[in-house]
C-alpha cells in the first residue's frame, strides 16, 4: 500500500522525501512502513532531494523568475534540508539573478502605464514579491526606466538606489 501511494505521488511530479512521508502519514501508513519504503526508494534513487532541489531551482527561476530567497522558502516548504537547498541555490549566482530581474522588468515595462513614480513602485513591488533583494530590484527598475523614455530617464536619474536600499535594510531590522 505504501509503495503504491508513493508511486502515485511520484507519477504526478517529482517529490521530496518529506512530501512522500507526509502523504503516507495522511493515508494512515505506520511510521515504520513509511520509513522502510522511503529508505528503499532512497537507496535505488527514486527519491533524491538534491536532484529535486536543483531541478526546482532551475525550473522556477527560468519559468517564474523567482529569486534565491523565494526559491529557498519554497524548498523549505517542501521539506528540503538547508544544506541541500543551499547547494542547489549556489548554482544561481548574483549576476544571473540580476539579469533575470532586469528581463522581468523590461517585459512588464512594455505594458506599464502611468506616471514614472507609480510604475517604479509597481515594478519594485513585483520584484520584491518574487524574492529579489531591494538593491537588485531598485537597480533593475532604475536601469530599465532610464532606457525607456526621456521622461522616465529623468525620473530614474533622481533615484538614489543605494539610499533606498539602505532605507529598506533599516526597515527590515
Q: What is the pLDDT of residues 162-171, one digit of tens each?
A: 555 555 555 5
DSSP secondary structure letter of residue 46: S
* 152-163: pLDDT as tens digits: 666 767 766 555
* 38-66: pLDDT as tens digits: 999 999 989 999 999 999 999 999 999 99
User: Per-residue DSSP letters for 24-47?
Assistant: HHHTT--HHHHHHHHHHHHHHTS-
User: CA 102, CA 147: separation in Å to the nearest integer?
Assistant: 11
Q: What is the largest CA-CA distance in the chain?
A: 67
* 1-13: pLDDT as tens digits: 889 999 999 999 8
**How many beta carbons lie within 10 A of that of residue 130, not counting itself?**
20
Grid cell of 154 as nine digits: 529623468
DSSP secondary structure letter of residue 13: S
Rg (CA), the chain: 21
141, 143, 148, 153: CA torsion to nearest 10:
100
Amino acid at each position: 500500500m505504501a509503495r503504491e501511494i508513493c508511486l502515485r505521488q511520484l507519477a504526478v511530479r517529482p517529490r521530496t522525501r518529506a512530501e512522500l512521508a507526509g502523504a503516507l502519514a495522511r493515508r494512515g501508513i505506520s511510521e515504520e512502513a513509511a520509513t522502510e519504503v522511503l529508505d528503499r526508494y532512497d537507496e535505488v534513487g527514486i527519491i533524491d532531494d538534491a536532484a529535486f532541489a536543483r531541478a526546482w531551482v532551475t525550473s522556477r527561476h527560468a519559468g517564474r523568475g523567482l529569486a534565491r530567497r523565494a526559491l529557498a522558502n519554497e524548498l523549505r516548504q517542501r521539506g528540503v534540508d538547508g544544506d541541500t537547498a543551499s547547494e542547489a541555490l549556489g548554482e544561481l549566482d548574483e549576476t544571473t539573478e540580476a539579469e533575470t530581474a532586469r528581463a522581468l522588468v523590461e517585459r512588464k515595462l512594455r505594458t506599464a502605464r502611468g506616471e514614472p513614480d507609480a510604475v517604479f513602485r509597481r515594478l519594485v513591488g513585483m520584484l520584491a514579491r518574487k524574492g529579489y533583494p531591494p538593491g537588485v530590484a531598485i537597480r533593475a527598475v532604475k536601469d530599465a526606466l532610464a532606457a525607456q523614455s526621456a521622461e522616465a530617464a529623468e525620473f530614474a536619474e533622481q533615484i538614489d538606489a543605494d539610499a533606498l536600499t539602505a532605507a529598506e535594510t533599516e526597515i527590515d531590522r
